[in-house]
Amino acid sequence: MALQVSSAGFPMVVHRRRGGGGAFGARAVSSESLTTVKGGEEEKVKLGGSDVKVTRLGLGAWSWGDTSYWNDSGWDDRKLKAAKAAFNASIDGGITFFDTAEVYGGMFMGVVNSETLLGSFIKERQKVDSVEIAVATKFAALPWRFGPGSVVSALENSLSRLGLSSVDLYQLHWPGIWGNEGYIDGLGDAVEKGLVKAVGVSNYNERRLRDAYERLKKRGIPLASNQVNYSLIYRAPEENGVKAACDELGITLIAYSPIAQGILTGKYTPENPPTGPRGRIYTPEVLAKATTTFDC
Using alpha carbons only, how large is the chain's radius of gyration in Å?
A: 18
CB 222 within 8 A of CB 194: no
User: Which residues are part of the catalytic machinery?
Assistant: 104
For residues 173 and 109, give the distance between their C-alpha atoms in angstroms, rounded to a whole number: 15
CA 193/CA 24 separation, integer angstroms = 44
